[in-house]
């Protein structure tokens, strides 16, 4: 079980390399209708901060799942939130996420990802 958790954590870090929220040169996503998009966002467990998707009314994407991956080796340490979306119609949209505590007022840190659905 420990090996499984270590591998899961390792692969989530690899995902962070490709889609890190701090990477200002991240590529746009180009997908087809019914394709799934996966975005991994790092967070620190135990702080109360979580990523929230700011859904647009006319979004081309539907959120199909959100998974939180905890680092079981370090309580309150770094973790990953993995968001899965499915493209439902053609066009271009922006996925906007906000990193904040839900009980606090004001804006948090925002990250955006552009998606082109063909």
For 65-99, the pLDDT digits (tens) are: 999 888 777 676 788 999 999 999 999 999 999 99
What are the φ and ψ backbone dihedral angles of 31, each rounded to 5 degrees? -135, 170
What is the Cα–Cα distance from 43 to 51, expressed in whole angstroms?
8
Strands 29-31 and 61-69: unpaired
**pLDDT computed for residue 23 by the predictor:** 42
In order of their start, the domains of the chain are 2-117 (2.60.40.2020)
Which segments in the chain show pLDDT lower than 50?
A: 1-25
For the chain, first and last CA: distance in Å? 41
C-alpha–C-alpha distance, residues 94 and 56, integer Å: 9
Task: Tell me the sheet residues that pair with 85.
Answer: 37, 63
DSSP label at residue 60:
S
The count of C-alpha atoms lying within 13 angstroms of the C-alpha of 21, restricted to the half-sphere facing its C-beta, is 20
What is d(CA 109, CA 52) in angstroms, rounded to the nearest whole number?
10
């Amino acid at each position: 079980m420990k090996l499984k958790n270590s591998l899961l954590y390792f692969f989530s870090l690899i995902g962070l390399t490709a889609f890190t929220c701090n990477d200002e040169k991240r590529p746009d996503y180009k997908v087809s209708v019914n394709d799934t998009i996966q975005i991994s966002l790092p967070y620190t467990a135990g702080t109360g901060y979580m990523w929230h998707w700011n859904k647009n009314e006319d979004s081309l994407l539907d959120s199909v799942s959100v998974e939180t991956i905890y680092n079981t080796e370090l309580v309150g340490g770094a973790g990953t939130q993995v968001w899965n979306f499915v493209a439902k119609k053609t066009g271009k949209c922006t996925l906007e996420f906000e990193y904040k505590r839900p009980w606090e007022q004001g804006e948090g840190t925002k990250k955006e990802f552009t998606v082109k659905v063909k």
